Structure 1
Amino acid sequence: MFKRVITALLGIPLIIYIIHIGGLLLFSALLAICSIGLLEYCKSVNTDENINISYYLEIALGIMLLFIFNFYESLIVAGLFLCFIVIFIYEIIKGKANVLQGIYALFGIIYVPFLLGHISLFRNFENGSFLILLVFIICFSTDTFAYIIGINFGKHKLCPLISPKKSIEGAIGGIVGSLIITSIYGYLMNKYNLLEFQPIYYIVLSFWASILSQFGDLTASLIKRNFNVKDFGNILPGHGGVLDRFDSIIFATPLVYYFTLYYIILG
C-alpha cells in the first residue's frame, strides 16, 4: 500500500503536467505508454506456448496507428485495416498457420493504441486538455471509491471467476464516488469558464464512464487470468505495469470522446 500511495503522489502531478502542456509532450507520453503497454501485453500472451506474437511488429504497428491518430485522423479506419492486413500477412509468411495468434495480435493493437489513441483526438475540442483530465478523474475516483467501499462494506462478489476481490458494493461505491467527484469538477469548470457543459452532461457521462472503466479493469483481469499472470509488469511500484494502471482509462477514453462529440453536435 505504501508503494502504491507514493507512486500515485508522484504520478498524478506528472500526468496533470503532461496533459496541461499537451502537444508533443503528450504525444510522446502516449507513444511511451502504448509501446510499454504493448510489450506487457505481448509478454503476457506469449506465456502460452502456442502463441508467439512479435514484439517488434506489434509496437511498430502501434506507433504507426498513434501517428495516424495524431496527424492524419481521417485515415484511422484505413490504418486499423492496414494493421489487420499486415498482421495476417506476417502470420502467413511465418508459415505457422496459427489464426489464433493473429487474432491475439490484432486484439493487442485494438486494445492498447487504438483505444488509447483517442486521447489525441481531444485536441479537436476547445480546452480539450480539461476533457482528458476528466477521463482520469472519472477513472481514478471510480477506482479509489470502489476500493474503499469494497474493503469496508463488500459482501457480494461481482465477478468471482475473474476478479475474486471485487464486490457489487465496491462497484456501486465507485460509481457514486465518481458522480460526486465529477460533479465537483464540472462545477469548477463552469465557474471558471473552462468547459461549458450543463450539469447533466457530467452526471450522465460519469455514470456510464464509471461503469465502463470498471469493465476495463475486469477485462484486464480476464486477460491476466487467462494467461496465468499476476500483473502485466512491475514498472509502477504498487500498481504493477502500465496496463494494470491504465486498464480503466483504455475503456473510458473513447466513451468520453464520443459522448462529448455527440453532446456538442446535438446541442
Structure 2
Amino acid sequence: MLKTRVISALVGLILLIAVLYLGSIVLGVVVSIIAAIGLYEFYNSAAKLKNIQPIKPVGYLSIIPLLLLGLEETGWYKLDLGILTGISVCVVIFLSMAFIVFGHKRYNIIDACVTAFGIAYVPFLMSFLILIRKMDFGILLIWLIFIGAWGTDTMAYTFGRLFGKRKIVPEISKNKTMAGAIGGILGCVALMFVFGLISRSFFGLELSTATLVLLGLFCGVISQIGDWSASAVKRYVNVKDYGSIMPGHGGVLDRFDSILFVAPVVYYVIVVCNI
C-alpha cells in the first residue's frame, strides 16, 4: 500500500506541475474536470443516506461557469465575476425549484439543499484555483495553495507521530492530535517563509512578513478544518473514501479536501494584502 501511495503521489505531482505551467486555459479545463468528478463523488456519498437524492443535472450544470472562467484567457469573451456569480446562483435556485415542482415524486427541498451545498463545496471553492492562476505572478502564487494544504498535512502528520498524545477530534478522526494540529500550523508558517525567501531571491516576487504570517496561520488552521470536515461527512454517510480514482489516496475529494478550503483563503489574503 505504501509503494502504491508513493507512486500515485509522484505521478500526481508530475501531472500537477505540467498543468500549472501549461497556463490558465489548461488549468481551467483540468479544474473543471476535477470538479465534475468531485461533485460526482459527493453526490454519490450523499445518496447513501436514506431519502436523499441530489438533483445531479443541476449540480453538473454548475461546472459550466467554472469552465467559462478558465477559458476566458482565450480572448473570445470577457467575464464580469459579479454577473457570472449572480446568474449562476439564480439558475441553480430556479432549476432546483423546477425539479421539485415537476419532479415532486422524486425530489424535495432537502435534495435541493444537498445539491446546492455540493455546488458551493466543490465547483465554487475550486474556482479560486483558476482565479489565483490568472493573477500577476499567478504561476508562483498558486503554489501557496498546495503548500498551505499539503504542507500543513505533512507537518501535522510528522508532529503527531513524534509528539501526539492528546486526541483532538477522536469521534471524527481517531489519529488527529493536538500536537499534530499545532505542528501543522507552525510548520505551515515556516513553509510560507521558505516560499517567500525563494520567490524573492529567484523570481522577484516580494511577500511581506505580515502576509506570510497570515497565510501560514490561516492556511494552517483552515486546511485542517477542511480535512476534518471531509472526514465528518464520510463518517456520517458511512464511507471510507469518496472514490478510488487515485490508487492509495481514494477519490478527488479525499485528496483535495484541504485544497478546497485553502484556495479561497490564499486568494483573499493576496487581494487584501494587495500583492
TM-score where L is the length of structure 1: 0.93
Q: Using the alignment, how far apart are the partners of 1:194 and 1:59 within structure 2? A: 40
Deviations 1:50-75 (A, max 9, x none): 011243332122x1231354442232
Matched residue type, 1:232:
Y
Secondary structure, counterpart of 2:205 in structure 1? coil
Shift of 1:81: 3.1
**Count of aligned pairs between the two proteins:** 264
Q: Using the alignment, how far apart are the partners of 1:192 and 1:56 within structure 2? A: 46
Matches within 5 A, 1:71-150: 71=72, 72=79, 73-74=81-82, 75-96=84-105, 98-150=108-160
Unaligned runs of 5+ in 2: 73-78
For the 8 Å contact 2:188–2:219, the answer to whether it is kept is: no
Query: Equivalent of 2:229, from 214, 219, 235?
Result: 219
Q: Using the alignment, how far apart are the partners of 1:110 and 1:194 within structure 2? A: 35
Matched residue type, 1:173:
G
Matched residue type, 2:214:
V
Secondary structure, counterpart of 1:158 in structure 2? coil
Q: Using the alignment, how far apart are the partners of 1:222 and 1:98 within structure 2? A: 24
Secondary structure, counterpart of 2:231 in structure 1? helix
Q: Using the alignment, how far apart are the partners of 1:80 and 1:187 within structure 2? A: 40
Matched residue type, 2:187:
G
2:76 corresponds in structure 1 to none
1:166 corresponds in structure 2 to 176
Matches within 5 A, 1:110-259: 110-259=120-269
Q: Is 1:18 equivalent to 2:19 in the alignment?
A: yes
1:36 corresponds in structure 2 to 37
1:3 corresponds in structure 2 to 4
Deviations 1:123-166 (A, max 9, x none): 44211121111110111111111112212321111111211211
Bigger mean CA deviation after superposition, 74-83 or 125-134: 74-83
Matched residue type, 1:39:
Y
Q: Using the alignment, how far apart are the partners of 1:123 and 1:137 within structure 2? A: 15
Shift of 1:252: 0.6
For the 8 Å contact 1:3–1:237, the answer to whether it is kept is: yes
Matched residue type, 1:252:
V
- After superposition, the CA RMSD in angstroms is 1.6
2:75 corresponds in structure 1 to none
Q: Using the alignment, how far apart are the partners of 1:56 and 1:41 within structure 2? A: 14
Secondary structure, counterpart of 1:258 in structure 2? helix
For the 8 Å contact 1:42–1:53, the answer to whether it is kept is: yes
For the 8 Å contact 1:68–1:76, the answer to whether it is kept is: no
Q: Using the alignment, how far apart are the partners of 1:162 and 1:91 within structure 2? A: 33
Deviations 1:177-205 (A, max 9, x none): 11122211110101123422212211221
Matched residue type, 2:202:
Y
Shift of 1:208: 0.6
For the 8 Å contact 1:16–1:133, the answer to whether it is kept is: no
TM-score where L is the length of structure 2: 0.90
Q: Using the alignment, how far apart are the partners of 2:86 and 2:219 within structure 1? A: 24
Q: Using the alignment, how far apart are the partners of 1:65 and 1:104 within structure 2? A: 19
Matched residue type, 2:135:
F
In structure 2, the CA distance between the partners of 1:185 and 1:155, relative to structure 1 (3 Å rule), is same
